[in-house]
Amino acid sequence: MENKTRESLVLEFKSKTYALKTSKDLDPLMERIGDTGLVLLGEASHGTHEYYTWRTAISKRLIAEKGFNLIAVEGDWPDCYRLNRYIKGFDDQDKKANEIMQDFKRWPTWMWANWETAALITWMKEFNSKFNSDKKAGFYGLDVYSLWESIEALIAYLEKTDTKAFLQAKKAMDCFEKHGKDERLYATKNLSVSCRDEVVKLLQEIRVKAQSYNHDSEASLNMTQNAYIAVEAEKYYRRMLFLDDDAWNLREKHMLETLNRLIEFHGPQTKIIVWAHNSHIGDARFTNMRGLGLINLAQLIKEKYTEKKVVSVGFCSYRGTVLASKEWNSPVEEMEVPPAEPGSIESTLHNESTENKLFIFNRIDNQQGEGYGKYIPHRAIGVIYHPKREIHNYVPSLIHKRYDALIYLDETTALHDLHVKPDEHQVPETYPFEF
């Protein structure tokens, strides 16, 4: 029965398969996206070279051919906002992208301080140079982690523009600094008395005065977002203590609310590309996450903006190497990714053929094969990874419902960490696609 199910699954996939070698082979995906205004691009790890370069290839085409004007990533707002200012020609024009990204210090640094992202940022800057400020594509972070960095950004700006709000921001920072800028120490040592009142008051102050922060076109957006992060990050780190679902769900809601603010600020015609892990951009309703009470960004986006306005693209691979750490805040390592577990979607597709391929799921007719409606294990590697514990890295998924499209890459290689300086003759190749 299992073999029959697997064969049925392969047949269903094969009839909807497109070989994938260069960016020209993305034409079926571009056709599927059509006039959609939200495209979610996933990854099965946070440390795989090919996931970043293929997402770059897709993003370039979406920006150049379909007028997408914003990339929002699973990254910190302050760091990403600095890149946004850079690619729009406002700040750091005497530097290269990789020089700016050397300042990305918060672990896991390799997620965005890598040569692959530097190549994308360089391309975006060059592309933007052809347009006026209001037509330039932007780059923003969606995540909730940057508690200290966001308050520091508020202090730096408000010191010169708003004395009252500056003093409130300083009061909030003074409260947190008692814990040595350590989120976990703050959460564990301060259960009875928190800094929440200080950050809530700060947000209220910022919201009232946001429109007066107008020294440039995005100052009000930046200040408001940093204030929201201070409030939500404080709540997030305190919820982490209880090891329940609230922290995860709070983070997903924060990312949706950030997207909402970006759309509200840039206007209803905004077209957004989201870069995040599969666990965020593959609809949680079609995985075992649903039974665990977990939601995710893709689910929330599709519920808010309707299915027809969103296309989500998952990524997976059979074997290779990856950048990851063995413990939280520990050094990054290049690790082996062993062949996928038998019965997984990755193993099934590898056994069919070792070519890279693209699947467009909405092309499937109503006659679904027996295996096609089955939940199947799907690998997910995080920033913490132990290859010998592979069995714990699979999420049961209804693949054709979790994603609108899937990119399968048979063998992949590790991301190139920007903090590891390459030999000048061996700078990683980051433009492997025809464009």
336 vs 177, higher pLDDT: 336
Q: How far apart, in whole angstroms, are the C-alpha atoms of residue 275 and residue 295?
A: 18
**The pLDDT value given to residue 435:** 32
Question: Closest Cα partner for 271 from 72, 123, 426, 107?
Answer: 72
- The reported pLDDT for the residue numbered 45 is 97
List of residues 6+ apart from 411 with CB closer than 8 A: 317, 318, 319, 320, 354
Q: What is the CA radius of gyration of the chain?
A: 22
Token representation of residue 406: 């899937």
pLDDT of residue 188: 72
Q: Which residues contact 262 (CB under 8 A, 6 or more apart)?
A: 70, 72, 140, 221, 270, 272
Q: Which of 114, 121, 123, 152 is nearest to 139 (CA)?
A: 121
pLDDT of res. 100: 95
Pairing of strands 394-397, 272-275: unpaired
159: domain range? 142-270
Asked whether residue 212 falls in the same domain as residue 281, the answer is no
Q: How far apart are alpha carbons 321 and 102 in whole angstroms?
A: 23
Phi-psi region of 67 (alpha: psi -120 to 50; beta: other; left: phi over 0): left
Domain count, the chain: 2
pLDDT in tens, 398-411: 999 999 999 999 99
| Contact in structure between 108 and 46 (CB atoms under 8 Å) | yes
**What are the pLDDT digits (tens) for 198-254?**
999 999 999 998 888 888 889 999 999 999 999 999 889 888 766 667 889 999 999
Mean pLDDT, the chain, integer: 88
39 CB-contact burial (10 Å; exposed 0-12 / middle 13-18 / buried 19+) = buried
> Which is nearest to 371 in space by CA: 3, 8, 11?
8
Q: From 308, 377, 380, select the one nearest 32 (Cα to Cα).
A: 308
Instruction: Name which of 99, 37, 73 is nearest 258 in CA terms.
Output: 73
The stretches of 210-311 forming alpha helices (DSSP H) are 219-240, 246-266, 278-281, 297-305
Q: Across the strands, what pairs with 333?
A: 324
The strand ranges marked E within 134-211 are 138-141
Q: Which of 270, 289, 319 is the last residue of a domain?
A: 270
Residues 210 and 345 in one domain: no
The residues pairing with 273 across neighbouring beta strands, listed in sequence order, are 39, 71
Kindly state whether residues 434 and 285 are assigned to the same domain: yes
The answer on 405 and 392 residing in a single domain is yes
Which of 219, 245, 270 delimits the end of a domain? 270
Q: Which of 247, 270, 293 is the last residue of a domain?
A: 270
User: What are the distances in angstroms from CA 396 to CA 163, 175, 380, 406?
Assistant: 53, 43, 10, 15
Q: Are 252 and 232 in contact (CB under 8 A)?
A: no
The answer to whether residues 360 and 384 belong to one domain is: yes
Q: How far apart are CA 138 and CA 59, in angstroms?
A: 12
| 251 & 289 share domain | no
Q: Which of 14-18, 33-37, 70-74, 254-258 has the lowest mean pLDDT?
A: 14-18
Task: State how far the Cα of 320 lies from the Cα of 337, in Å rounded to an integer.
Answer: 5
pLDDT digits (tens, 9 = 90+) for 129-169: 999 988 999 999 999 999 989 999 999 999 999 999 999 99
pLDDT of residue 24: 95
Same domain, 280 and 199: no
Same structural domain for residues 216 and 298? Answer: no
| Cα–Cα distance measured from residue 225 to residue 296, given in angstroms and rounded to the nearest whole number | 20
DSSP 3-state assignment of 384?
strand
CA angle 279, 397, 308 (to 5 degrees): 75
Distance of CA 8 to the CA centre of its chain: 33
More confident residue, 428 or 246: 246
Same domain, 127 and 167: no
Query: What pLDDT was estimated at residue 390?
Result: 86
* The token pair that represents 217 in the structure block: 């076109």
Residues 202 and 95 in one domain: no
If you write DSSP's letter for every residue of 194-217 in order, what string do you get?
A: -SHHHHHHHHHHHHHHGGG--SST
CA triple 296-300-305, angle to 5 deg: 150
Share of the chain above pLDDT 90, in %: 71
CATH number at residue 116: 3.40.1660.10
Judgement on whether residues 179 and 266 belong to the same structural domain of the protein: yes
Q: Are residues 324 and 398 in the same domain?
A: yes
